[in-house]
Amino acid sequence: MANPTIKDVAKMANVSIATVSLVIHDHKRISRVTKQKVLEAIERLNYYPSRSARGLVSQKTGNIGFILTNDHFLRTEPFYTNIFIGTEFEARENELYVLLTTVDSNFKDSDPLPRFILERNVDGIIIAGKVPSILTEKLCDFNLPLIFVDFQPVKRNCPVVVVDNNLGGKMATNHLIEYGHKNIGFVGGDIDHPSISERYKGYTAAMEQAKLTLNKNFIDFVEDYPARTNGFQAASRLFKNNKDITAVFACNDAMALGIIDYLKDNGKRVPEDVSVIGFDDVVSENSNGPSLSTIRVPKMEMGVEAMKLMSSFLKEGINHNKKVLVPVELIIRNSTQKI
CB of 145 to its own copies, least distance (A): 16
Candidate segments 11-19, 83-91, 204-212, 271-279, binder of DNA by CB under 7 A: 11-19
Q: Counting Cβ atoms within 10 Å, is residue 109 exposed (0-12), middle (13-18) or buried (19+)?
A: exposed
Q: Which helix (H) or strand (E) holds 121?
A: none
Of these partners, its own copies, DNA, none, which one is at the site of residue 33 (CB under 5 to 8 Å by kind)?
DNA
Under the criterion CB under 8 A, does residue 118 sit at the interface with its own copies?
yes
Nearest CB to its own copies, comparing residues 213 and 288: 288
115 binds DNA (CB under 7 A): no
In whole angstroms, give the CA distance from residue 169 to residue 202: 4
Q: Is 116 in the site for its own copies (CB under 8 A)?
A: yes
Interaction between residue 19 and DNA (CB under 7 A): yes
Picked from DNA, its own copies, none, the partner binding residue 217 (CB below 5 to 8 A depending on kind) is: none
Instruction: State which of residues 11, 54, 182, 237 lies at the interface with DNA (CB under 7 A).
Output: 54
Q: What is the DSSP string of 29-85?
A: SS-HHHHHHHHHHHHHHT----HHHHHHHHS--SEEEEEEEHHHHH-SSSSHHHHHH
- Environment class of residue 21 by beta-carbon count within 10 Å: exposed (0-12), middle (13-18) or buried (19+)? middle
The correct pick among 69, 88, 184, 196 for binding its own copies (CB under 8 A) is 88
How far apart are the C-alpha atoms of 248 and 246, rounded to whole Å? Answer: 7
Q: Find out whether the peptide bond into 153 is cis, omega within 30 degrees of 0.
A: no
Contact stretch for DNA (CB under 7 A) within 17-25, 76-84, 91-99, 206-214? 17-25
Phi, psi at 239, each rounded to 5°:
-85, -15
34: partner contacted, choices its own copies, DNA, none (Cβ within 5-8 A by kind): DNA
Is residue 313 within 8 Å of 305, Cβ to Cβ?
A: no
Query: What does the binding site for its own copies look like in residue numbers (CB under 8 A)?
Result: 2-3, 48-53, 55-56, 61-62, 73, 76-78, 81, 85, 88, 92, 95, 97-102, 115-116, 118-121, 143, 253-254, 257, 260-261, 282-283, 285-292
